[in-house]
Amino acid sequence: MPKKRIYYTEFRRSLDSGSVKPVYFFTGAETFLKEEGIQTIIDKVLPPAERSMNFESLYAGTDVSGQEVKERAMTLPFIAKRRVILVRQAEKWRAGDLNVLDTYLKDPAPTTVLIISSQEERLKQTNWKNFANLTYHVECYPLFDNQVPAWVERRVGEHGKRIAREAVQLLIERVGQTLADIDNEINKLVNYIGQKPMIEAADIRAAAGHIRQNTMHELNLALGRADGSAAVRLVKHVLDEGIRPIQMLGAIAWHFRNLHSIRKRLDGGEDLDKIVGNIRNPQARREMQLQATTYSKQAFAKIFQELLKLDVHLKTGKTHWEMFLEMTILKICRQYTYK
């Protein structure tokens, strides 16, 4: 059993090389990868004919206690090499359930593959940490921005098609980075292009939906990176989602307050890795490291002044607020950065 967590890509490599572990523990926010990983294990371990007798899908808490899972896992498979037991919502288990399972995890049955999936992260708690250490712990975090295009290309390739680079960018821009959403759109596009071997940008414009969510978060990320053109483009999406300008301003100010607080600690001599060290999601951690050094301490004072001006502008009901908003964003991104 590994004592460290591994990421999804490493898990896939391990599984593809034929190594099947007796206990998997899936955590992380990227549900699509978790489900894909779980399905890949099931496909690998159990041929369809053996599934009805040897595959059990259970829910912790409502369905089964740790004790029951242990009993089921210790039973030998019915005319198959292995039995697969999948337990979802493991976060509902209490300490007693984990204790019972700990004894199993220390000596798991070689004839059972136990897959445990948790929606919430409780790994800061000691008993969960110990539990995770006894399993093959696969963390399924959202892919990094630069990993998504490659994932899209691979996914399209699995359908026997190719996708143009411009089309990949357009797809991500329209759909967002949620893999489940992208996968749905890929399925739609593959049907749409029929016999054509490649998905072009025109196909995306014609058939892909515009379902991108969380644009407020992305707007903040773009501002944090001082990416003015992306930020201005995202402002329109945020407004289209029904977020009022004053709400948007509140969210932007909150983000800059966070960045300012990191900047102050950084300038006070604290180590950046230590400051952001309690952010568990590696992607979010990396993002904060990047953004914290984009603006100087002095720049933040000016940024807050600009935001104050925007606030007054919005609240006094002056016209052309959209233009003022865009100009403020461009000013922040282009005048106050080190870039």
Residues that bind other proteins (CB under 8 A): 49, 52-58, 63, 67, 70-72, 74-79, 83, 103-104, 109, 111
Quote the CA–CA distance of 19 and 90 in Å, as a whole number.
24
CB of 51 to other proteins, least distance (A): 8
Q: Which of 67, 121, 74 is nearest to 98 (CA)?
A: 67
CB-wise, 78 or 144, nearer to other proteins? 78
Q: Measured from the CB atom, is 55 or 256 closer to other proteins?
A: 55
With a CB cutoff of 8 Å and minimum separation 6, the contacts of 283 are 141, 142, 143, 144
Rounded to a whole number of angstroms, the distance between the first and last alpha carbons of the chain is 46
Structure tokens at 264: 């102050």
Other residues' Cβ atoms within 10 Å of the Cβ of residue 60 = 22
Q: How far is the CB of 54 from other proteins (least distance, A)?
A: 6
DSSP-assigned letter for residue 337: B
Helices 95-106 and 126-133 meet at what angle, rounded to 10?
Answer: 20
Q: How far is the CB of 106 from other proteins (least distance, A)?
A: 13
Q: For the sheet with 6-7, list strands across it.
A: 6-7, 136-139, 23-27, 112-117, 83-88, 55-59
Shortest spacing between CB 130 and other proteins, in angstroms? 18
In the complex with other proteins, which residue's Cβ is closer, 94 or 196?
94
What is the helix (H) or strand (E) element at residue 188, kind and residue range? helix 179-193
Closer of 81 and 315 to other proteins (Cβ): 81
Q: In angstroms, what is the minimal distance from the CB of 265 to other proteins?
A: 48
Smallest distance, Å, CB 65 to other proteins? 12
